[in-house]
């Protein structure tokens, strides 16, 4: 049964456009603080490029540390957009309506943030051009398409382009509403973006069909992106614990797990910040909580499979990495303790919190569970990548463990500030909850009397 009341369209406009037409008092101070953190990280990146990666904790043995962990983490978060928007749109799930836009926008900003990580990780970012793009025809320099490190930018750029277009197409009707409510240069910009939208049946039909086509086309991109990211590791024969065939689905499901959790947390924050209690309702958070139990359990299955596949072959190097992960630390770093913490906060704690209906409807508990998942998923990537590199191998004459230093910690922290700042700035110029989607849900809604109960139901056209 659906909750909440049917609201007049004028009120929906007023409530959901408030973030654009009025500036809350907290807005600029919060954006400024986030901006300062991003500025500090930008300066640090400048210092790092100038002096070299030696100022980080990366070393001869462990070359992929915080930056690559953070890259995979943000790619994972980006999977929420398509998961929620495309799948639920194709399935015509009613409760998708308030969540889709925020999820899609989170996808775009997460992808942008993720892409920064490997670029700065190279130490000489300009060289990325030589590796990834077939641009220098005169000198006959072409990228080598055989390693997954080149598939990565092609898949991520495809995903970023698709997601951006997906959001823009879905925004067109809302641009038209803004066009009619603004003056001066904002009106000019919204008029251009609205592309002459007037809301006639032909335009609506094309817009809906384009949405369905794009949803269907983005889904294979969504699956391929994190599969390819997993192959960055899975195809590295030299690092034993990475050479796993189960990585692609394991990464994709893990990405959905962390991404949907991030969307839930973002929705709770938006509800609180902009007073959208009538739009982001407990029933929506409840439905996402139920979905997360299934996704989390799927992820846990792949986690166990990944470990079992690693141990089952009884290869010496592979067993050594597993020993490093699960037994007391050889180099003084207690990976085994972190492994217990990671599994606990990524699966057991949140799933226990999501099981009772009353807890799924408690926004504090849901926030805590979703933050817990994301801290855990960040740790997961770290524990997947670093022990494999730190493990002592045959004929390796030097080996080290990895301890991140302040530049990495600051840059990683700043990525969270960066995404939050971009989300806030987006909410200042574009509606983060789709107006027409909410209104459509309301006009299709009706009340039904079944026996002695009166239920709210929504019509769905086949």
Segment interacting with another protein (CB under 8 A) among 211-219, 288-296, 297-305, 366-374: 211-219
Measured distance CA(418)–CA(324) in Å, rounded = 34
Residue with smaller CB distance to another protein, 155 or 291: 155
Q: Which helix (H) or strand (E) holds 125?
A: none
Give me the 8-37 binding string for another protein, x by CB under 8 A, dash otherwise.
xxx--x------------------------
Measured distance CA(259)–CA(83) in Å, rounded = 9
Q: What is the DSSP string of 83-148?
A: IIIIIHHHTT-GGGTTTHHHHHHHHHHHHHHHHHHHHHHTSSGGGHHHHH---BTTTTB----SSH
Q: What is the DSSP string of 194-206?
A: HTT----HHHHHH
What's phi and psi for 277, nearest 5 deg? -60, -30
Among 198, 394, 449, 452, binds another protein (CB under 8 A): 198
Spacing of C-alpha 282 from chain mean position = 22
* CA 207 vs CA 167, 275, 462: distances in Å: 12, 29, 17
Segment interacting with another protein (CB under 8 A) among 51-59, 101-109, 154-162, 312-320: 154-162
Residue with smaller CB distance to another protein, 202 or 452: 202
- Shortest Å distance, C-beta 190 to another protein: 10
- Shortest Å distance, C-beta 262 to another protein: 24
Task: Count the neighbouring beta carbons within 10 Å of the beta carbon of residue 333.
Answer: 16
Residue with smaller CB distance to another protein, 148 or 404: 148
Residue with smaller CB distance to another protein, 247 or 299: 247
389 exposed, middle or buried (CB, 10 Å; 0-12, 13-18, 19+)? buried
Please say whether the beta carbons of 289 and 264 come within 8 A: yes
124 exposed, middle or buried (CB, 10 Å; 0-12, 13-18, 19+)? exposed
Measured distance CA(303)–CA(351) in Å, rounded = 15
- Shortest Å distance, C-beta 153 to another protein: 10
The one-character DSSP state at 458 is E
Task: Count the neighbouring beta carbons within 10 Å of the beta carbon of residue 269.
Answer: 17
Count of chain residues binding another protein (CB under 8 A): 60
Segment interacting with another protein (CB under 8 A) among 63-71, 401-409, 411-419, 433-441: 433-441
Binding flag, residue 175, another protein (CB under 8 A): no
Segment interacting with another protein (CB under 8 A) among 75-83, 207-215, 319-327, 333-341: 207-215
Binding flag, residue 435, another protein (CB under 8 A): yes
* CA 242 vs CA 205, 227, 239, 268, 391: distances in Å: 47, 13, 6, 36, 12
Segment interacting with another protein (CB under 8 A) among 75-83, 176-184, 255-263, 351-359: 176-184
Of 382, 461, 361, nearest in space to 94 by CA: 461
Residue with smaller CB distance to another protein, 340 or 443: 443
Please say whether the beta carbons of 430 and 437 come within 8 A: no
Residues 215-254 close enough to bind another protein by CB under 8 A: 217-218, 220-221, 224, 228
Residue with smaller CB distance to another protein, 10 or 314: 10
- Shortest Å distance, C-beta 9 to another protein: 3
Residues 6+ apart with CB under 8 A from 264: 285, 288, 289, 292, 366, 370
Among 208, 238, 340, 448, binds another protein (CB under 8 A): 208
Among 82, 83, 176, 291, binds another protein (CB under 8 A): 176
Give me the 270-309 binding string for another protein, x by CB under 8 A, dash otherwise.
----------------------------------------
Residue with smaller CB distance to another protein, 60 or 142: 142
Segment interacting with another protein (CB under 8 A) among 204-212, 329-337, 387-395, 413-421: 204-212
- Shortest Å distance, C-beta 283 to another protein: 21
Task: Count the neighbouring beta carbons within 10 Å of the beta carbon of residue 55.
Answer: 15
Residues in touch with another protein (CB under 8 A): 8-10, 13, 134, 140-148, 151, 154-155, 158, 161-162, 165, 169, 173, 176-177, 180-181, 191-192, 194-210, 213-214, 217-218, 220-221, 224, 228, 435-436, 439-440, 443, 461
């Amino acid at each position: 049964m659906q909750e909440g009341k049917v609201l007049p369209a004028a009120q929906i406009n007023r409530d959901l456009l408030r973030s654009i037409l009025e500036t809350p008092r907290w807005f600029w101070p919060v954006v400024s603080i986030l901006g300062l953190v991003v500025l500090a990280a930008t300066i640090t990146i400048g210092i790092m490029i100038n002096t070299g990666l030696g100022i980080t904790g990366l070393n001869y043995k462990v070359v992929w540390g915080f930056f690559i962990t953070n890259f995979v983490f943000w790619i994972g978060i980006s999977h929420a957009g398509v998961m929620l928007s495309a799948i639920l749109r194709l399935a015509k799930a009613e409760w998708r309506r308030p969540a889709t836009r925020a999820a899609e926008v989170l996808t775009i900003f997460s992808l942008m943030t993720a892409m920064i990580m490997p670029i700065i990780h190279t130490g000489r970012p300009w060289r990325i051009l030589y590796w990834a793009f077939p641009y220098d025809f005169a000198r006959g320099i072409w990228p080598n398409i055989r390693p997954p490190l080149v598939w990565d930018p092609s898949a991520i750029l495809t995903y970023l382009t698709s997601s951006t277009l997906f959001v823009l197409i879905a925004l067109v009707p809302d641009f038209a509403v803004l066009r009619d409510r603004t003056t001066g240069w904002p009106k000019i910009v919204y008029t251009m973006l609205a592309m002459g939208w007037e809301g006639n049946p032909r335009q609506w039909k094309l817009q809906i069909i384009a949405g369905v086509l794009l949803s269907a086309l983005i889904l294979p991109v969504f699956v391929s992106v994190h599969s390819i990211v997993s192959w960055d590791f899975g195809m590295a024969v030299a690092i034993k614990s990475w050479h796993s065939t189960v990585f692609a689905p394991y990464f994709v499901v893990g990405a959905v797990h962390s991404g949907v959790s991030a969307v839930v947390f973002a929705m709770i924050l938006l509800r609180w910040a902009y007073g959208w209690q009538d739009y982001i309702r407990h029933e929506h958070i409840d439905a996402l909580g139920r979905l997360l139990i299934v996704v989390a359990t799927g992820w846990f299955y792949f986690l166990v499979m990944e470990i079992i596949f690693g141990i089952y072959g009884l290869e010496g190097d592979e067993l050594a990495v597993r020993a490093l992960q699960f037994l007391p630390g050889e180099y003084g770093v207690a990976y085994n303790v972190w492994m217990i913490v990671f599994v606990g906060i990524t699966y057991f704690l949140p799933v226990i919190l999501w099981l009772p209906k009353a807890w799924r409807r408690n926004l504090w508990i849901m926030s805590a569970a979703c933050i817990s998942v994301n801290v855990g998923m960040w740790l997961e990537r770290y524990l997947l990548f670093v022990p494999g590199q730190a493990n002592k191998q045959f004929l390796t004459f030097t080996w080290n463990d990895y301890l991140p230093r302040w530049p990495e910690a600051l840059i990683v922290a700043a990525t969270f500030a960066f995404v939050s700042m971009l989300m806030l700035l987006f909410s200042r110029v574009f509606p983060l909850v789709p107006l027409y989607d909410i209104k459509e849900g309301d006009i299709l809604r009706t009340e039904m009397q079944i026996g002695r109960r009166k239920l709210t139901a929504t019509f769905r056209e086949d």
